[in-house]
Structure 1
Amino acid sequence: MVESRGIRKGNIWTKAEDRGFKHGYELKTFLESKNAYTLPDILEVSAEKHENTLCIGTRKLLSRKKIENNGKQLEKLELGEYTWKSYKEVQNEVIKVTSAVSSLGLQSKERVAIIAETRAEWLTSALGCLRYGLAVVTLYVNLSDTGLVHGINETEVETIFTSSDIMSRLVKILPRCDKVKNIIVFEDQLDGIGNAKVDQHVKVIPFQEFLTIGTEQDFVTNKPKENDTAIIMYTSGSTGNPKGVEITHKNVFYSFIAYTIQANLNSSDRYIAYLPLAHIMELVTEIALLSLGVTIAYSSPFTLTNNSPKIGKGTLGDARVAKPTAITAVPLILDRIIKTVSINVEKQGKLKAKIFKHAVQFKKDHEASLTSRALDIIIFNKVKAELGGSVKMMVVGGAPLSPQTHSMIRTMFGCTVQVGYGCTETSACVSSMDSDDMRTGHVGPPNAFVEVKLQDWEEGGYRITDTPRPRGEIVVGGPCVTSGYFKLPSETSVSFYVEDGTQWFRTGDIGEFDETGVLYVIDRKKDLVKLKHGEYVSLGNIESKIKTCSIVDNICVYADPCEEYTVAVILPSQSYLEKIAADNGLSDVSIDKLCVESQIKQIFLGKIQTHSKQCGLGKWDIPQKIHLTTLVWTPDNGMVTAALKLKRKDIYKEYEQEINAMYNKN
């Protein structure tokens, strides 16, 4: 019997007080004694304590070149070592940003926008603006032009922080954003701010120059208060226009404290940052790390590992150089890592592949044994090296993590894998796994200072009276719950409400609690579709199971309520597709033609259906027809969000003809 990790009182679950790391609670007490409740306060206090500790680092860009690959131009980078700034140096840069925004004539509680990829300047600019009492509007770089214009105009920002590679897009949309007066540009290491031309009424300032324009005479402090809006964070807009969530300093404070209670990290640790800072999970994580004195090495999904698409020949991936002890990941990234390792092992021959498979299974069954530790040295250290060789803690969020992927990553990397659950509306904070919990499939007990209750959803057949476990829509309460959606009172009233002085948010997710007080996210209202015969299928659940199949790189399942079966659009693993082709005498056929070859599709479908049954999917869940595509789904082409979640509406639109054909509607 696993000891209780969550406590139930009536229909509300909270965290057991004896769970988590003591230093997180001590940090909260320490910050409260310093009256440090806002984001810039956190860095200021931490800089006093850790002034000479390395704070943030950026890799040196030595050169870039374009290469041709199958008719496409790819950018390859030659990168050097990391250059670092101490906590004291970062705090000084934040003060310079505050002084500079003061010189622009901005007033307290006005808004500025940041539209840039994750990088050190993003964080220092945000903290400098917050220190002046401004609110920061965050917009994903991969939002459509319409989405960017919507966010800029709705928040009425006059000043935008961006990067040189986004400038060409901004120039195109600026005529539709007539309030914008200033653009501060984070320079490219080789090309500066480029040569994009803007209208004369818009002032363009390179970031390094911007840091010098403030003076002591200009400087006016407008210290924010804990209940002031810190961030207006726009969602990735999977349906319609993106919505801005209003997040206060207090919301973030309680969220990052909850993180520190769950994370066993200190100033000797190093974290690699590559997920979007415009996503609440990454922003809260980095604020938490600053509070603990952790070192942050900046990276990107394109340069993270040796196999990342922009890493040039002879250049190591960022993780190999930074050697992080902690990393945050989304399930899709982990699935890709597993598939990359599997492909590399199979290339070494059937015998080595068989040995590796047995080693994985043995370590799963005997994690603490001496033989297991020996296997780490002989086999798994080579796998660990892909992420630098030092990772001890991995936090996973953003989407459901399958038990198979969870177990495989923990086995290969020998680190704790703590799955968390949250959303922008709850400041990324709802629940997270304890570090000593070796089970899979759940998202842990409620976090500290969070209350979770379940509400009946009759239409879907989920009730809190269900046995053996209560089930229902997950509703979250506590100081991490935000105030609502910016300028959308009607939508706010639907999703948020106050009860007995507590702010609550209806997530739209379906959950259940087990007897130890941990939460399982088992469905989502929007993902449930009732088929013609009356059976419900959960699209997200089906996809999470099938994505663990080694021949699948990505998948989107579709269910027509007027039909009796599901279908799927699949991005196949190219290497496995080529292997199947070679085994069937089609090795000379192009990838595009293989995807429409009926023989190949039938083999593929058979493997997927077998895998689906092994994963416990039911008769109505398993796709009966598939369409194979070579189009990689990325945020840039609008098929997935910045957090790599499927944008179903856009995918359905792209493959409408193929989906209709699978249902014999053409």
Structure 2
Amino acid sequence: MNNHVSSKPSTMKLKQTINPILLYFLHFIISLYTILTYIPYYFLSESRQEKSNQIKAKPVRSEPESAYRSVNCLDGLASVLYPGCDTLDKVFMYAKNKFKDKRLLGTREVLNEEDEVQPNGKIFKKVILGHYNWLSYEDVFVRAFNFGNGLQMLGQRPKTNIAIFCETRAEWMVAAQACFMYNFQLVTLYATLGGPAIVHGLNETEVTNIITSKELLQTKLKDIVSLVPRLRHIITVDGKPPTWSEFPKGVIVHTMAAVQALGAKASTENKPPSQPAPLDIAVIMYTSGSTGLPKGVMISHSNIIAGITGMAERIPRLGYVMGEKYGGNLIFKPTEIMDRIYKNVMNKVNEMSSFQRNLFILAYNYKMEQISKGRSTPLCDRFIFRKVRSLLGGNIRLLLCGGAPLSATTQRFMNICFCCPVGQGYGLTESAGAGTITEGYFHSYVIGFVVPNQKELTELARKKGLKGTWEELCNSCEMENEVLKVLSEAAISASLEKFEIPMKIRLSPEPWTPETGLVTDAFKLKRKELKTHYQADIERMYGRK
């Protein structure tokens, strides 16, 4: 998890549009405030600073390349969160016994849907939501136990695969806990996958039962059910669809409530017949298929618990839910793409009066400098950024981002405006991804180095009215842009994804031959030598020089 951005703060400041004399005066006031508050801050934060400076990790071995490990777990990796809880069903049972009547899963009723036109012309669905309906730990346990027992009655056996193709919702978690209890291997498929990818995943895992929603059944599964010959039972989490005649013979559709009722009726004891072992497969998680057909990643119970244990070492408590707050206040904020939040906040800033906008920018840049020095800014947080914080409920203590790269600028912006650390997941979610600290080498777009065909490049230059020697043409920014256009058009016609298309290129006037030391005798790339040779160009294309 990344909670540090190495980009220099000076390169990430917001620009001010204010009279220079007034700007100098404001900077003087800020400097005076900083000096006056530093002394009490130093004494009040001394113990916190000492704690922060404590050694938290040490190398496992004395070698320089040795991995680092928490000082609390130097003798071995922490693999179990609670003693004796080495499988996911035991972890949930532990939580259920400890927090029996506490709230666990909440669902808000959708009262209405509206189309909201964005400034860029795009239309987003805006939902009007009602109050939360809560399930306690005990409620979820009972529903999961009965659902798992009902699946057994439908023929599901331990260590066999069952698929879930459903949106993120409370029923998804209930179904997952049922599978963990009864040692069913849960096959997860993204709800956004296309038909061929879904068919591939279902057939590869040879599932006979699938859990889905009414909407996904009607919009995606209905057209491909006939292509999954082993499928026998479809369980919808939110009621039956209106028509049934289009399904192949032999496929039966049930509701989740009906399966739970079947399980409750058949239940004779309060313990699943086959509990999982730590090395048993808990989940077969399919990727999003960005490089072809989705791939199923097998993850054991011990794998997931070890990942959770590592995170819990640093995040003992993620947050809490305040008392009932409705109306204009937010209870929970639906998941947002952070870059979109960044753009929306900046749009609001640009709509402010000149004085308000420059005050915000001054506070932003001041806080950035203080954060870079390890200091806090309570007055800025309280009086300047309070309204921005309220966009996410006002009590966010930590933001975790995953699923896509987050730019350093956006990460720093969220860190400053929402007054909390912003962690970024980096690595495969499908394998309980590892944590990292950003060192500045990861970027969210591709660059390319092109050794052009001399005849073709010269002809392109002639068409565009550009002249010069071969080296001058290759070093020309205009030619780089023209070649980039040609490459982009070819990439789009080849149906490449956006992240596969170079955003910037460098034309290399010298060929890559073994004599140059950039490739081997078999013309394989020497990546380290290429990186060193083109380091200045890499810095330029990623905006660091």
Give the TM-score normalised by the residue count of structure 2: 0.66
Aligned partner (choices 225, 235, 260) of residue 277 of structure 2:
225
Cα offset, 1:403, TM superposition: 2.9
Q: 2:451 aligns with which of 529, 532, 546?
A: 532
Shift of 1:143: 1.1
Q: Distance in 2 between matches of 1:54 and 1:82?
A: 11
1:103 aligns with 2:22: no
Shift of 1:137: 0.4
Q: 2:330 aligns to what SS in structure 1? A: helix
Alpha-carbon distance change, 170 to 258 in structure 1, aligned in 2, over 3 angstroms: same
| CA spacing shift, 1:418–1:66, aligned 2, 3 Å | closer
- 2:66 is aligned with 1:12: yes
The AA in structure 1 aligned to 2:496 is K
Q: Which of 106, 131, 143 does residue 193 from structure 2 map onto?
A: 143
Deviation at 1:66, TM superposition (A): 6.3
1:539 corresponding residue in structure 2: none
CA distance in 2 between counterparts of 1:432 and 1:623 reads 34
Note the C-alpha offset of 1:373.
1.9
The alpha carbon displacement at 1:209 in A equals 2.1
Per the alignment, in what secondary structure is the counterpart of residue 311 of structure 2? helix
Q: Which residue of the other structure, out of 646, 649, 660, is the alignment partner of 2:496?
A: 649
Structure 1 residues 195 and 262: CA distance shift in structure 2, 3 A: farther
Q: Is this contact kept in 1: 2:106–2:135, CA < 8 A?
A: yes
Measure, in 2, the Cα distance between the counterparts of 1:223 and 1:158. Answer: 21
Contact 1:162–1:183 (CA under 8 A) maintained in structure 2: yes
Q: Does the C-alpha gap of structure 1 residues 563 and 183 become closer, same or farther in structure 2, counting only changes over 3 Å?
A: farther
Greater gyration radius: 2
Q: In the alignment, what sits opposite 1:37?
A: 86
Contact 1:164 1:194 (8 Å CA) reproduced: no
Aligned to 1:181: 232
The structural deviation recorded for 1:531 is 2.3
Do 1:139 and 1:151's aligned partners in 2 also have CA atoms closer than 8 Å? yes
| Counterpart residue number, 1:365 | 369
1:199-253 deviations in Å (ceiling 9; x for gaps):
3421111222221111464665211111011111111101211110111101101
CA distance in structure 2 between the aligned counterparts of 1:152 and 1:649, rounded to whole angstroms: 26
Q: Could you tell me how far 1:127 is from its partner in structure 2?
A: 1.2
One-letter amino acid of the structure 1 residue matched with residue 417 of structure 2: M
* Residues 114-150 of structure 1, C-alpha deviations (whole Å, 9 max, x = no match): 1111111101101102211110001111111100000
Alignment-derived partner of residue 322 in structure 1: 331
- Please state if 1:249 is matched with 2:106: no
CA distance in 2, matches of 1:145, 1:371: 51
Matched, 1:412 2:417: yes
2:385 alignment partner, SS class = helix
2:301 alignment partner AA: H
Q: Secondary structure at the match of 2:261?
A: coil
With over 3 angstroms needed to count, the CA separation of the structure-2 counterparts of 1:417 and 1:563, relative to structure 1, is farther
- Matched with 1:265 is 317
1:534-572 Cα shifts (integer Å, max 9, x gaps)? 9xxxxxxxxxxxxxxxxxxxxxxxxxxx989xxxxxxxx
What's 1:126 paired with? 176
Q: Which residue of 1 aligns with 2:481?
A: 624
| Distance in 1 separating the partners of 2:297 and 2:401 | 22
Contact 1:8 1:14 in 2 (8 A): yes
* Cα distance in 2 for residues equivalent to 1:50 and 1:379: 38
**Larger fraction in strand:** 1
Residues 510-549 of structure 1: pairs in structure 2 closer than 5 A:
522=442, 529-532=448-451
Letter in 2 for 1:385: S
Are the equivalent residues in 2 in contact too, given 1:193–1:206 (CA < 8 A)? no
User: Residue 497 of structure 1 corresponds to which residue in structure 2?
Assistant: none
Aligned to 2:167: 117
Q: Is the 8 A contact 2:386 2:394 kept in 1?
A: yes
1:485-528 Cα shifts (integer Å, max 9, x gaps): xxxxxxxxxxxxxxxxxxxxxxxxxxxxxxxxxxx65479x967
Q: Distance in 1 between matches of 2:359 and 2:426?
A: 35
1:533–1:148 Cα change, 3 Å: same
Figure out how many residues of one structure are paired with residues of the other and give that number. 413
Quick check: 1:323–1:389 contact (8 Å CA) kept in 2?
no
Structure 1 portions without partners, runs of 5+ = 272-294, 298-313, 434-440, 443-519, 535-561, 565-617, 628-638, 640-646, 660-666
1:390-429 equivalences under 5 Å are: 390-424=395-429, 426-428=431-433
Q: Give the CA RMSD over aligned residues.
A: 4.2
CA distance in structure 2 between the partners assigned to 1:619 and 1:247 by the alignment: 51
Whether 1:208 aligns to 2:127 is no
Query: In the superposition, relative to structure 1, how do residues 334 and 126 fare at CA in structure 2: closer, same or farther (>3 Å)?
Result: same
* CA distance 1:178–1:75, change in 2 (3 Å): same
Higher relative contact order (CA 8 A, sep 6+): 2
Do 1:78 and 1:315's aligned partners in 2 also have CA atoms closer than 8 Å? no
Percent identical residues: 26
Partner of 2:112: 63
- Whole-angstrom CA distance in 2 between matches of 1:51 and 1:111: 30
Distance in 2 between residues matched to 1:371 and 1:237, nearest whole Å:
42
| Aligned partners of 1:81 and 1:321 also within 8 Å | no
Deviations 1:167-195 (A, max 9, x none): 1210100111111111111217xxx6444
Aligned residues of 1:238 and 1:649 also touching (Cα < 8 A): no
Equivalent residue, structure 2, for 1:381: 386
Shift of 1:166: 0.3
* 2:107–2:170 Cα contact (<8 Å) kept: yes
